[in-house]
Structure 1
Amino acid sequence: MKFLFVGTNQENTGASTHFVTLAQAMEEAGHQVGVMTCPGGLIAQELARSHVQVDNAMFRNAYDLRGYARVFAVAKRTKPDYLVGNFGKEYWPLIAIGRLLGIPVALFRHRIPPMKRLSAYLLPRLAHRFFAVSNYARQAYLDRGVPAERVHILYNPVNTTRYRPDRQQRSTILRTLGIDDEAIVLGYSGRMFAGKGIFVLLEAATKAMEREPRLHCLWLGDGPDLKALRDRVAALPTAHRHRFAGWIHDIAPYYSAMSMLAFPSLAPETFGRGSIEAQAAGIPVLCSNIGGLPETLLPGVTGLLLPPGDVDAWRDAILKTCEPSFRLPMGSAAREYMLARFSTIVIATQFVGILTDS
């Protein structure tokens, strides 16, 4: 099949990473893929590593006529079998262009907050395929009146070649961070925001460190509560066992440095991409039992589901995962689970199957 993906979002979001990985997955599966995106953004930078054909475009908003003209011209010239969109400002332009050219449109929705009433009603009905990225998200759309037959589920794909166990990379990263090879590293990657559960995780990790001297914390990311988090860490007697690496563009090598990844969100997540990336790298995950996160792991096999905000439960889970006899088999199972359920070839096959199912 021939696809034209349109995504001019410049932000470093999970939706942008999904857009890139899905486009690459379709190209790797043997399909012809073109992408229209803005130069210099995350999408353009990531796709520069692949063989996907990239054209420049920009939608400042849904009324940007220059964006319409640019996408219309490329779609008319390349004649794709499907137009694919990930971002709200391009939903209506793709619907309009698809109707004018007779090209079906597939739209992905990554957020739970409702669209404007008219868009929420019409877009799932006008798109040929409308996708949620988790059962949790799908149910939220159904609860707002979208017909069940109009909402399909396609999980985020993960590149299991890029995200994989790498012992040599682990040693290199730990050495760079000044952490001993024998350390047990609890990782967090994401936005530094209280709603993500970072302060709950800090409290739980601090209690766990009192009983496990090898335990260290690696904090990756940026956000409005980063300074408050660093200030709290600085006041702890275990401050020397915390590392802040900031926002990392290519996080893949850093998963290898972790012994476990924590996803301690207090508010529902639509999915939880970091969970599947870490598991693909052979790292067990500790996830809040909320939103779409439970769909990213096999509880008790590839990771643990924990009550959001329960410091003692998180402390106990961290300590349990510090035990090699528990952690190492879980990491191996996590890698196998990702290969079978979330790898690019699996998701690409499912995507085509949904698109061609009459």
Structure 2
Amino acid sequence: MKFLFAGTSRENGGAEAHFVTLTQALAAAGHTVEAVVHPDAPMAKALAGSAVRLHAGRFRNVFDLRGYRATIAAARRLKPDWLVGDFGKEYWPLILIGRLLGIPVALFRHRLKPMNRLSARLVARCAQRFFAVSEYARRDYIEHGMPAGRVQVLYNPVDMEQCRPDPAQRAALLQQLELDESALVLGCFGRLHAGKGIYTLLDAANAAMAQEPRLHCLWLGDGIDTQRLRDSIAASPFPARHHQLGWVADAAPYYNALSLLAFPSIATEAFGRTPVEAQACNVPVLCSDAFGIPETLQPGVTGLLLPPGDSAAWRDGILALCDDATCLPMAAAARDFALQHFSTPVIAAEFVRQLGEAGR
């Protein structure tokens, strides 16, 4: 099949990671894939040199003619079987271009924030396929007016070659952090703001550190609460056992430093890419039992679900995974679970299968 993706976001979040990974997965599966992207965006840099041919384009909003010109020109040259979009500002442009050129449109939504009432009712009806990234998100969209029969689920793909266990990398990272091999490293990766549950985790980690002297915490990412978290760590009982590295362009290698990963979000989450990437590296996870997050793990097998905002429960969960009897079997099961449910070949094949059903 031939696909033309359009995504001119200049951000570097989960939707952008989905765009990059899915386009590369389809290309790796033998499909022809091209993409209209902002030339200065992280997505353009991530796809540069890949099998995905890039076209420079910009959609500042639904009325931006620059984006229409670039997308129409690319579509007329490629003659794709599908136009695909990941971002709200390109929904209506792709629908209009699809109608103009007679090309079906598939759209993804990664947020739980409701669209306006008119778009909620019409977008999924006007596109030939509309994908939520979790069952929870699908239910949410339907509750906000989307027609149930028009919304499908396709999980976020994760590149299992990029995220894989690497003992040598683990040793190098522990050395970089000045930790010995016996250290137990709890990771929290992503945007640093209160809605991500970072202060619940900080309290829980400090309480666990009081009982487990080998425990350290690795914070990777930045956000509006970066400095507040740094100040809270400095005032905590164990500041030297918290390692706040800030934002890094490629977080994948750092999963190998971890013994366990926490995803303690208290704000709404449609999905959770970070727990899946951690499991791909044989790292068991602790996740909030809320929103779309429980769909990212196999509870009791590859990790634990915990009540969001409950620092005592998170302390107990951390200590449970500091015990080899609990942690090691979960670590051993984690990568197989990620492979079966979220690997790029699995998601690319399911995407193509669902698009095929649209024409029946």
One fold, TM greater than 0.5? Answer: yes
Structure 2 Cα separation of the partners of residues 33 and 51 of structure 1: 8
Structure 2 Cα separation of the partners of residues 163 and 177 of structure 1: 20
Structure 1 Cα separation of the partners of residues 102 and 54 of structure 2: 22
Q: Where does residue 26 of structure 2 map in the other structure?
A: 26
TM-score (norm 1): 0.98
Is the CA contact (8 Å cut-off) linking 2:121 and 2:147 kept in structure 1?
A: no
Q: Deviations over 1:299-349 (max 9, x none)?
A: 000010000111111001101101122112111201000111111110011
Partner of 2:222: helix, strand, or coil?
A: coil
Return the letter of the residue paired with 2:178.
G
Deviation of the 1:37 alpha carbon: 0.4
Q: Where does residue 215 of structure 2 map in the other structure?
A: 215
Structure 1 Cα separation of the partners of residues 190 and 89 of structure 2: 24
Unaligned runs of 5+ in 1: none
Q: Deviations over 1:78-136 (max 9, x none)?
A: 10000000001111110011100000000001111111222111110000000000000
TM-score (norm 2): 0.98
Is the CA contact (8 Å cut-off) linking 1:9 and 1:87 kept in structure 2?
A: yes
Return the letter of the residue paired with 1:251.
A
Q: Deviations over 1:184-216 (max 9, x none)?
A: 000001111111110000000000000100000
Is the CA contact (8 Å cut-off) linking 1:265 and 1:308 kept in structure 2?
A: yes
Q: Does residue 16 of structure 1 match 2:16?
A: yes
Structure 1 Cα separation of the partners of residues 176 and 42 of structure 2: 25
Q: Where does residue 96 of structure 2 map in the other structure?
A: 96
Structure 2 Cα separation of the partners of residues 308 and 117 of structure 1: 30
Partner of 1:55: helix, strand, or coil?
A: strand
Q: Where does residue 54 of structure 2 map in the other structure?
A: 54
Q: Where does residue 45 of structure 1 map in the other structure?
A: 45
Is the CA contact (8 Å cut-off) linking 1:266 and 1:308 kept in structure 2?
A: yes
Q: Does residue 2 of structure 1 match 2:2?
A: yes
Deviation of the 1:69 alpha carbon: 1.1
Partner of 2:201: helix, strand, or coil?
A: helix
Is the CA contact (8 Å cut-off) linking 1:163 and 1:278 kept in structure 2?
A: yes
Partner of 2:326: helix, strand, or coil?
A: helix
Return the letter of the residue paired with 2:202.
L
Unaligned runs of 5+ in 2: none
Which runs of structure 2 are paired with 1:221-236 in the superposition (5 Å)?
A: 221-236=221-236
Q: Where does residue 306 of structure 1 map in the other structure?
A: 306
Q: Where does residue 241 of structure 1 map in the other structure?
A: 241
Deviation of the 1:49 alpha carbon: 4.9
Q: Percent identity?
A: 59
Structure 1 Cα separation of the partners of residues 13 and 228 of structure 2: 23
Deviates more, 1:231-240 or 1:91-100: 231-240
Is the CA contact (8 Å cut-off) linking 1:200 and 1:309 kept in structure 2?
A: yes
Is the CA contact (8 Å cut-off) linking 2:132 and 2:152 kept in structure 1?
A: yes
Deviation of the 1:236 alpha carbon: 2.3
Is the CA contact (8 Å cut-off) linking 1:267 and 1:290 kept in structure 2?
A: no
Partner of 1:283: helix, strand, or coil?
A: coil
Structure 2 Cα separation of the partners of residues 84 and 66 of structure 1: 18
Partner of 2:210: helix, strand, or coil?
A: helix
Which structure 1 residue ranges, 4+ long, deviate > 4 Å from structure 2?
none
Q: Where does residue 161 of structure 1 map in the other structure?
A: 161
Structure 2 Cα separation of the partners of residues 32 and 142 of structure 1: 33
